[in-house]
Structure 1
Amino acid sequence: MPLLARMLVAPVFIDIRPGAVAGLGALLAELRIARQGRIAVAVGPGQGDNILGELRIEGAEAFRVPDGRLDSAVTLGRQLRSSQFEAIAGIGGGKTIDVAKFAAHMAGIPMVAVTTSLGHDGIASPVSTLNHESGTGSYGVVMPVAVIVDLDRVRHAAPSLSTAGIGDAISDLSAVADWELAAVDIGEPVDGLAVAMARSAALSVLHQPGHARSDQFLKVLAESLILSGMAMGVAGSSRPASGGDHEIMHAINQLHPGTASHGELAGVGALFCTHLREDFEQAELISECLRRHGLPRTPSDLGLSHAEFAQAVAYAPRTRPGRYTILERLELSEREIGERVDAYHKAVMG
């Protein structure tokens, strides 16, 4: 009898614990990721330099990543390719990891993600989200060969970044609901395994007790974000982790840059879209989770007026042409969006 199965792309090695970054050198040697020792280390503007000073990796060359722009990723990719590096370790937050992933893909070499914050699910995803002159773009890349999450470093990151991935993790519930909506309305195929992984990742964070900076919670959050990234790898797109919630996030980033972090915006977008779907029981669970961990829930929490948030909602479908979500189904007018935003704010604030 033939055995039907599919091969799943996943990191070869995952290490989530306090002090994990100290094992980077040994990891590179033991997994023989770089046989000749030609290793590039990309560090971000946050904790990257501090970590670099503590590492002793023979033959490694450091590169500074100034921002999360496409130009920076292309420049780094050219440097890696011209100098014939065998591997790159990206050390820092989400922007640094995304730049390093894109550069590694461009150079055709393996990449190790060493994250210092849990701001979004790009830790192990096959997607790099980078800024460019027209806004934000998502680019398909090869998944990291290994992922290191140092919980001590995560705790030292800024609060808006260290655990903002809570919002991104639970936004998978909204993304999956949008995907299932697209299946019903327009016949879009749904990958059941990707849905199962994304939903499980979201629910593990939604119902995880304890303080967001405890080891136990951070481990669950890190695992959830990694699993969410792998769900995208299974689906071959960001569909299981990006719906109307992320359309709103990208719209706010484009219309009002610098408003909040990826995870914070994804959480608010997910809560708003869940209200639009009139799934009020789940909306209450999401709202309570965000409130419990000090994440934004309303436009005012983000520093936006209702009109500015409504403008972003109206613009949101243009950020992902061809993606069908609750926003595309409802096709609300500007007046209707304003009314829904007001109703949403009242519901959240009680």
Structure 2
Amino acid sequence: MPVLTRLVPAPLSVDVRAGALEHLTDLLAERRISANGGLALVVSAGTDERLRERVAPQLPGARWFPVEGGSLNAAVDLADRLRTGTFDAVVGIGGGRTLDTTKYAAARVGLPMVAVATNLAHDGIASPVSILDNDAGRGSYGVPAPVALVVDLDVVRAAPPRHVRAGIGEVLSNLSALADWELAGAVAGQTVDGLSAAFARTAAESLLHRPGGIADDGFLVALVDSLVMSGLAMTVAGTSHPCSGACHEISHALDLLYPDLRGLHGEQVGVGAVFASFLRDDLALAEALAAALRRHGLPVVPTELGLTARQFTAAVEYAPSTRPGRYTILEHLAFPPDRLTDAVEKYVHTFGG
């Protein structure tokens, strides 16, 4: 008899609450991730010592591995250091750069990885992707998703508000990415996975008109849930398509062309999502996304990212080269420079004030 369902790897546990960090040992034992404390704890070299003091007494036998996260070299170096010990699992504690570094290193040495997120800047907290700087700029690397996720709301509230708000832009950009994926299905014959799309769309729509903000625990929990669903969407699809389209191509281009002006990923993809929706002539979606971003104090036009219209235009022109083989509205329109300049100027005029 044929198997008519599919198995989807998903976290064993998602613990989101105030004080969750104090229950880390219980989670590891109850989920049989590690019962004897044979753990590698990866933290940013700049991690607040108070955070480390909260974790250390629970896991006296663990080894600590500080990292300067965010690069492929750092991740490979971490993997080499992990090979010097015997561990049940790797626990990454930090923001997106630290968690992406930890995910890649854990995959390289074949260990399960637990993510303890200290901010909610992007969906890397639960995704099967590591975004790492490399010699060519920045790349996306497929890795196993974390086996468990811990988000202590007390810790998140202590993070810079900008780093928490950025996660809203990351989630909302799913709607633009999905439109690009559907375009790729209709024009380029790519397969669009309906279950994956449902996860990604539900994640974004749950925040699009949601009242409240990052000062509210209920909103923070909803944001974490949306980030987790985005991670599941990518896991189901086996690709980042449901959460990464022209919006992410533009963000990667900005990182490569203007590294000294690099903004937060979630901020950049939010702007990219509104602009891509504008290019598709989907003004209803563009306006809804722009309204949601403005409501949470996130940028909508290039100047709010610290960029000129000319710089943004150059990034949009360069963007398709950051993801060869991906088909989005940028590849579909393939605007020459003069038409692209006009499109950016019209976009700024429409949404700039």
Question: Which of 104, 108, 111 is residue 109 of structure 1 equivalent to?
Answer: 111
Please give the secondary structure, in 2, of the residue aligned with 1:163: helix
What is the identity, as a one-letter code, of the residue corresponding to 1:203? E
What is the identity, as a one-letter code, of the residue corresponding to 2:296? H
Instruction: List structure 1 segments (4+ residues) > 4 angstroms apart after TM superposition.
Output: 45-48
Q: Percent identical across equivalent pairs?
A: 50
| Compared CA separation, residues 46 and 345, structure 1 to 2 (3 A) | farther
Aligned to 1:15: 15
1:31 and 2:42 are equivalent in the alignment:
no
Aligned to 1:196: 198
In the alignment, structure 1 segments of 5+ residues that lack a partner are none
User: Whole-Å Cα distance in 2 between the matches of residues 106 and 334 of structure 1?
Assistant: 42
Aligned to 1:273: 276
Aligned to 2:100: 98
User: Whole-Å Cα distance in 1 between the matches of residues 22 and 193 of structure 2?
Assistant: 38
| Compared CA separation, residues 49 and 140, structure 1 to 2 (3 A) | farther
Shift of 1:45: 4.4
Shift of 1:84: 2.3
1:128 and 2:130 are equivalent in the alignment:
yes
| Compared CA separation, residues 49 and 103, structure 1 to 2 (3 A) | farther
- RMSD after superposition: 1.3
What is the identity, as a one-letter code, of the residue corresponding to 1:345? V
User: Whole-Å Cα distance in 2 between the matches of residues 52 and 142 of structure 1?
Assistant: 26
TM-score, normalised by the number of residues in structure 1: 0.97
Shift of 1:46: 5.1
Aligned to 1:169: 171
Aligned to 2:262: 259
User: Whole-Å Cα distance in 1 between the matches of residues 125 and 339 of structure 2?
Assistant: 37
* Contact 2:164-2:214 at 8 Å conserved across structures: no
In the alignment, structure 2 segments of 5+ residues that lack a partner are none
Shift of 1:85: 1.9
Shift of 1:35: 4.3
Question: Which of 336, 339, 343 is residue 339 of structure 2 equivalent to?
Answer: 336
1:157 and 2:154 are equivalent in the alignment:
no
> Which segment drifts farther, 29-38 or 97-106?
29-38
Q: Deviations over 1:98-120 (max 9, x none)?
A: 01111110110111000010100
Aligned to 1:54: 54
Residues 211-222 of structure 1 mapped to structure 2, 5 A cutoff: 211-222=213-224
Q: Deviations over 1:209-228 (max 9, x none)?
A: 11222101111111001100
* Contact 1:38-1:87 at 8 Å conserved across structures: yes
Aligned to 1:209: 211
User: Whole-Å Cα distance in 2 between the matches of residues 153 and 251 of structure 1?
Assistant: 32
Shift of 1:3: 5.7
Question: Which of 216, 226, 229 is residue 227 of structure 1 equivalent to?
Answer: 229
What is the identity, as a one-letter code, of the residue corresponding to 2:27? L
| Compared CA separation, residues 187 and 124, structure 1 to 2 (3 A) | same
* Contact 1:48-1:91 at 8 Å conserved across structures: no
What is the identity, as a one-letter code, of the residue corresponding to 2:65? F
Aligned residues: 350
* Contact 2:119-2:163 at 8 Å conserved across structures: yes
Shift of 1:44: 1.8
Question: Which of 259, 282, 290 is residue 285 of structure 2 equivalent to?
Answer: 282
User: Whole-Å Cα distance in 1 between the matches of residues 48 and 274 of structure 2?
Assistant: 33
Shift of 1:29: 2.1
1:320 and 2:323 are equivalent in the alignment:
yes
Q: Deviations over 1:20-63 (max 9, x none)?
A: 11111221222221244320111124545431111121211111
What is the identity, as a one-letter code, of the residue corresponding to 2:173? S
> Which segment drifts farther, 158-167 or 325-334?
158-167
What is the identity, as a one-letter code, of the residue corresponding to 1:83? G
User: Whole-Å Cα distance in 2 between the matches of residues 23 and 94 of structure 1?
Assistant: 22
| Compared CA separation, residues 313 and 132, structure 1 to 2 (3 A) | same
User: Whole-Å Cα distance in 1 between the matches of residues 352 and 220 of structure 2?
Assistant: 28
* Contact 1:70-1:130 at 8 Å conserved across structures: yes
User: Whole-Å Cα distance in 2 between the matches of residues 170 and 65 of structure 1?
Assistant: 30
What is the identity, as a one-letter code, of the residue corresponding to 2:149? V
